[in-house]
Amino acid sequence: MTDETTNPIRDAIQTAIDDHEVILFMKGTPDSPACGFSARTVGALQALGAPFAAVDILPDPRIREELSAISEWPTIPQLFVNGKLVGGADIVTEMYEPGELAQELGVDAPEAPAEAPAAEAPSPAPMGIENRLG
């Protein structure tokens, strides 16, 4: 790692943010979140039925370092919509209740959520970042 002029991990993260309308950087996967905050954020997105890409930051600590450098946000999860950081678990949860999150995501606000978010399997998330490291 002596080449300081290129940063393939940061580039891959930026590309992933640019290429996906809604992308969540999280600990673990939507099916198996590795942290309560990530689980809560996934739950909010799934409750709205919003399609989203997800990247597990755990496999390589550099993903988190570079992500935080890009976003100027120190914690995980981080939700990006249209290339912009929306926030972490607290903000996403705060936005969920008044229907603000649905608006941000361009989906219908939940009417009266009769039951907890269904645990249906989300579509497989593009995991481009890891793949490009090889």
Residues of the shown chain interacting with another protein in the complex, contacts defined by CB under 8 A: 37, 64, 68, 72-75, 85-91, 94
Give the nearer residue to another protein in terms of CB position, either 7 or 68: 68
Kindly list the distances between the CA atom of residue 132 and the CA atoms of 16, 45, 126, 128, in Å, as whole numbers in the listed order: 11, 26, 12, 6
Q: Least distance to another protein from the beta carbon of 91, Å?
A: 6
Q: Are 27 and 57 in contact (CB under 8 A)?
A: yes
Question: Whole-angstrom Cα distance, residue 80 to residue 19?
Answer: 11
Least distance between another protein and beta carbon 94 (Å): 7
Written as one letter, the residue type at 123 is S
Provide, rounded to whole angstroms, the least separation between the CB of residue 62 and another protein.
14
Q: Residue 71 or residue 125: which is nearer to another protein going by CB? A: 71
- Residue 43 beta carbon to another protein: minimum distance, rounded to whole angstroms: 15
List the one residue out of 22, 5, 28, 13 whose CA is nearest residue 70.
Answer: 13
Cβ proximity to another protein, 25 vs 37, nearer residue: 37
Which tokens sit at 132?
A: 């490009």
